[in-house]
Amino acid sequence: MKNRRKQDKSILIWQYIIGSGVLLTVLAFSLLNIFNLSMEPYQSAKSKTIDLAHKYAGVSRIDSFAIYNGKKSYYSLLGETNQKRQRAVLIEKGSGKIFVYELKDGASQEEAENVAKENGATRIDKVTFGYLNGQPIWEIKSGTSYYNVGFESKTLLSKEGL
């Protein structure tokens, strides 16, 4: 009788261990699936933007991709053509309007960072090529502030944030 109770307790413990393991496995796979599904819109936008940049801007090598969210949202891509020309491509989300800029014709990313630093930026967290008020810009994030530097004018257009 004692032996039977001991055996029943042992089986019960193993059932809890196996049940907990199955539950944790299901939970882990569910979280990974949710993460994968949440990345799908970003990956789809990136893929479409790269295809359009190849087709309409002649960009053959991609250096960076970002989503700029100003008054409107734009897919922003920096890359290089087969002729080694650096280009920025902006595609307006929704309308699909495409803007192509030669990076040599305006402020470089480093010049824009320097303009932001001259106007109070301490450390640079992120730099995104975007479009604001009818002109291309570099948006520089520094802490809780955003500095919008004109691509063509090479000047600070606005500072937003704290």
Position 8 scores a pLDDT of: 74
Reading the chain (162 residues) residue by residue, the pLDDT tens digits are: 566 676 777 888 889 999 999 999 999 999 999 988 888 888 888 999 999 999 999 999 999 999 999 899 999 999 999 999 999 999 999 898 999 999 999 999 999 999 999 998 889 999 999 999 999 999 999 999 999 999 999 999 999 987
Residue 29 maps to a domain: no
Q: Has residue 141 been placed in a domain? A: yes
* Structural contact between residues 60 and 80, judged by C-beta atoms closer than 8 angstroms: yes
In a domain, 37, yes or no: no
Domain of 53? Answer: 42-160
Q: How many structural domains comprise the chain?
A: 1
Residue 117 sits in a domain whose CATH number is 3.10.450.40
Residue 28 tokens read as: 């882990």
> Domain for residue 6, yes or no?
no
**Does residue 24 belong to any structural domain of this protein?**
no
Q: Which residues of 46-64 are buried (b: 16+ CB within 10 A; e: fewer)?
A: beebbebbeeebbbeebee
